[in-house]
Amino acid sequence: MTEPPGSDETVRWEAYPSWGQFAWLYFMSLLTALRGLLLLKFDIPGWGLWLGGAVALLVCAACLRRWARYSITSSRVTVTNGYTGRVIETVAIPQIEELTIRQGPMAQWMGIGTLVIRTGGGQIRLRGINDPEVVRNRLEAMRPAGAAPAD
């Protein structure tokens, strides 16, 4: 794990959204590719556009996955743009008031979820992270001793 430049913070956890977060794009890409292959098999024009569309959907999924990078350091939670390195959102750990996990049935089955971090001034969402319970427990352990337990 790396340390942020020019600081005494140590990175405790770092991740991009899980591939499973974009399962719907993979499914649509598969359907698009199958349609292109059927058109090719029956010698119907336009099959190349469908296969090109399937590739474009896969490229979109790969680009979206790297759009945000989540990190938890010894003192804050940060969402950073994965391409430019620009900080999108940040919150100091002592400011965290509530930690909640949101998971639908598919996300729960895939082991991913959204960790919602609420503070007095708003919230940060870490979408599509693997094992959100583990990340929440890490944050819970890092909160100051006098802080109220988060949900």
Integer Cα distance of 123 and 20 in angstroms:
23
Q: Is the pTM for the entire model greater than 0.85? A: no
CA distances from 86 to 4, 69, 70, 90, 107 (A): 13, 10, 12, 11, 28
> Which DSSP category does 56 fall into?
H
pLDDT in tens, 77-120: 999 999 999 999 999 999 999 999 999 999 999 999 999 999 99
Q: Domain 11-18+70-142: which topology?
A: PH-domain like (2.30.29)
**For 2-57, how does the pLDDT look when each residue is reduced to its tens digit (9 = 90+)?**
455 546 789 999 999 999 999 989 999 999 999 999 999 999 999 999 999 999 99
What is the DSSP code (8-state) at residue 106? H
